[in-house]
Amino acid sequence: RACSLRPLAFLLVTLVLVLFGMGVLSPRILMLETRSEGEGQSPAEPLACRAVLFFRMLYPQPMVMTPSRKDVLVLTPWLAPIVWEGTFNIDILNEQFRLQNVTVGLTVFAIKRYVVFLKLFLETAEQHFMVGHRVHYYVFTDRPADVPSVALGEGRRLVVLEVPGAARWQDVSMRRMQMISDFCERRFQREVDFLICADADMRFSDHVGVEILSPLFGTLHPGFYRATRQAFTYERRPQSQAYIPRDQGDFYYMGALFGGSVAEVQRLTKACHQAMMADHANGIEAVWHDESHLNRYLLDHRPTKVLSPEYLWDEQLLGRPAVMRKLRFVAVPKNHQQIRN
């Protein structure tokens, strides 16, 4: 009788060892779980068994023979995408950047009376800018006491950086290149993965998300996206470091919205600042100040992504052409002379 029980006992022992091996040697098989952002677990803590959930994303299949847009250019000659509504799937992009665990910095300069634009800028950014991702707002101002208190979502913070004012708005515009470059080295490179540089007298009116992120991006100027290069208001004087001849140039980029990785933004802003200092030493100031130098830089170092005028628009001046399916970042109506005074 004992002999007849041996095979059964052997099978039972083998089964116990297999189950033990699955539970101890390969705990991930039974204990996969989804953790919320920032949640950690030390190796000494016991792991609890949970149901394994498989995430499935359903979306329309991209068709090789069907272009995303037929009415606009969606790819530059150097193969950088031009971002328009209808050219990207934000759900796929959000998942990709969520897995990368990115933090995005947004710089804005609010010098003197431009601080009045901050409340609307920040409130609309909370509604539309990088929703669902970590964001650091960096406000450069000479009036830190006037920076408004705005309710921020989880994972988002406001950092006020006090800087000196300037007599002319042109000086404020040009000096921001130096300040951004300095702070990239001093803190931005340790705190964020991407850095976006925007003007304060704007508001977000629709989604602006991770589809804009790239090592280096520029934004098409809304007044010149249909123009020929001869009509661009580049700096045309050969004496300036920003000089671009009339037979050169791809697009005209606006200085109100540019960005990229922290390393690339530091290279751009440092180069523009050095070029402006060289011009100053030669007694010349580029026609559109830092924007002129930005265009020279992006001609020599072509961006890896270009944002369409959807991302920088002035409906009061330009109306709303049919090609603009969404207006994402728009100018705030204002009296320029009153603000400058």
Indicate which residues carry an active-site annotation: 291
Beta strand residue intervals within 174-332, DSSP E: 194-198, 202-204, 216-219, 257-261, 305-307, 329-331
Helix, strand, coil percentages in the chain from 3-state DSSP, rounded to 5: 40, 15, 45
Kind of pairing, strands 103-110 and 194-198? parallel
Q: Is 291 flagged in the annotation as binding?
A: yes
Q: Is 88 annotated as a binding residue?
A: no
Q: Is 14 annotated as a binding residue?
A: no
The angle formed by the CA atoms of residues 265, 269 and 270, to the nearest 5 degrees, is: 115
> Is-contact 72 84, C-beta < 8 A?
yes
- Name beta bridge partners: 107: 138, 197
- Please calculate the CA angle 72-234-302 and round it to the nearest 5 degrees: 55
Quote the DSSP letter at residue 253.
Answer: B
Q: Classify the C-alpha dihedral 314-71-251-94 as positive or negative.
A: positive
Structure tokens at 84: 């328009």
Q: What are phi and psi of 340, to 5 degrees?
A: -65, -35
Cβ neighbours of 54 (radius 10 Å): 5
Question: Is 109 marked within a binding site?
Answer: yes
In sequence order, the 6+-apart residues with CB closer than 8 A to the CB of 290 are: 173, 174, 176, 177, 255, 272, 276
Q: Does 279 appear as a known binding residue?
A: no
> 3-class DSSP state for residue 212?
helix
How many whole angstroms separate alpha carbon 17 and alpha carbon 153? 50
Q: Is 233 annotated to bind ligand?
A: yes
**Is 269 labelled as part of a ligand binding site?**
no
Is 250 annotated to bind a ligand? Reply is: no
Find out whether 314 is annotated in a ligand binding site. yes
Question: Could you tell me which residues are annotated as the binding site for UDP-N-acetyl-alpha-D-galactosamine?
Answer: 109-111, 114, 199-201
Question: Could you tell me which residues are annotated as the binding site?
Answer: 109-111, 114, 199-201, 221, 233, 291, 314
Question: Could you tell me which residues are annotated as the binding site for Mn(2+)?
Answer: 199, 201
